[in-house]
Amino acid sequence: MRTKILLLFLLGWVGMAFGQGCFLGNNPTSVENLTKFSGNQQFDNINNREYELLSSVFGIRPDFYYLHDFGMPNAYATPRIHNPNLTDGTIMLGFSLVQNECSNSPSGTCSAVPIILAHEFAHILDFKFGTGLRGKYQELFADYIAGSYLYHRANRFGNLNIQEVTSSFFSKGNYDFNNPNFHGTPQERYNCLSAGYVLAQQYSQQGIHLTREILMNSAIQYVGQF
């Protein structure tokens, strides 16, 4: 994504959703102010393109909304269905999160945003197929899956700034082991993202299709070491 995203405040309607998987901690019981449109057509087009590739790679079609995250940057995934035509759950991307990622993007490409969306798609895979993982292992699983998408995306749209992506994930780890919202240490999150990328790269270089089942099983096995 070589175009810098310019954020505008949304003008949309108010809705309700329940986040059960999130990129960061502090997952609330409800999130208000959902909208299908950001008020910025360029921003919407970029994310619509990203959504279509994510759906193609992972074989799922969750509903998607933008949200006001009220200065608490986050993204969420939930199995709750808002649209009967999109039965794989719902993903929500916070404006504050996107703005933070773009502000901290030296290249001006907001490279971490597509991979954050991939992290939320991974939570939808978890909800839909049931990994049995809990706590930080759910989050590390999602990081691994997101890493595999990082490679797929590079082949389709061109390289993201991988250093920015890995730095973003590394910075969002912590050592608050007793916190129920603990998502893993910085090194664990970085390692899972990198391992997912390497797996997708290896399969591609060998000319072998990386199926969703193989990817998910590899992710489950990998995160079990932490």
CA distance 168 to 96: 15
149-170 per-position pLDDT tens digit: 999 998 888 767 777 887 776 7
Tell me what pLDDT residue 178 has. 44
Cβ neighbours for 79, distance < 8 A, ≥ 6 positions apart:
20, 89, 90, 124, 127, 128
CA distance 186 to 168: 10
8 Å CB contact between 201 and 130: no
Structural domain boundaries in the chain: 16-223
pLDDT > 90 in the chain, percent: 51
CB burial of residue 7 (10 Å; 0-12, 13-18, 19+) = middle
34-55 per-position pLDDT tens digit: 889 988 899 899 999 999 999 9
CA distance 220 to 226: 11
